[in-house]
Each structure stands twice: as C-alpha cells, then as structure tokens.
Amino acid sequence: MEDLLNLIGEHHIKFCWIDKSTVGSIDPSNDVIKISPYLLIAETLMHEMVHCQFPRLDEVETERRARSRIQRMTVKEIKRMVDFAIILGGKLC
C-alpha cells in the first residue's frame, strides 16, 4: 500500500471534466493525472438507472445502454444530472 501511495504522490492529480468518453488520463510528459468525477458518477448513475428500468438485462447490455445514453447527452445535461443526484443524495459516505 505504501508503494502505491508513494507512486500516487509522484503525480499531480486534477479532478476535472475531460470529455464524454474519458474518465481518466495521464500525461507522462508532466506526470499529470486527470480524473473526471462528473463522468464517473454519471456512468454509474446511468448504469443503475438502466438496471431500475430493465431489471432483466444482463450486465453487458446494461452497460451498453448506459454508455449509449451518456453519449447522446450534452455535457451540460450530464453535469446537471450529476448535480441533481448529489443534491438528492446529500453527503458522501
């Protein structure tokens, strides 16, 4: 675990929007790791919403539909959906 923490500590980590297809990236030229919390949450939320709507779908089809839905949304819609979920969900646990 310490080795992993040391490795993480050697990088600059930025939490920011990247694009609709990228939840994380690393630029080896400057050791910057970017992580997109909005997209991570949006993908997870949409995946679970597809499960709610279509409980008999398998994981592969659920994931395919969730990704398709996300890709059809605008960036503004994705961020709005996540903001709404955070408002509803309250605190992180």
Query: Interface with Zn ion by CB under 5 A: which residues?
Result: 59
Taking the complex as a whole, how short is the minimal distance between the CB of residue 46 and Zn ion, in angstroms?
11
Which one, of 40, 51, 36, 42, lies nearest residue 82 by Cα?
42
In this complex, which beta carbon is closest to Zn ion, that of residue 50 or of residue 82? 50
In this complex, which beta carbon is closest to Zn ion, that of residue 45 or of residue 82? 45
Taking the complex as a whole, how short is the minimal distance between the CB of residue 6 and Zn ion, in angstroms?
34
In this complex, which beta carbon is closest to Zn ion, that of residue 11 or of residue 69? 69
Helix (H, G, I), strand (E, B) or coil at 15: strand
Query: Among the residues of the chain, which ranges form H helices?
Result: 2-9, 37-53, 59-72, 75-89
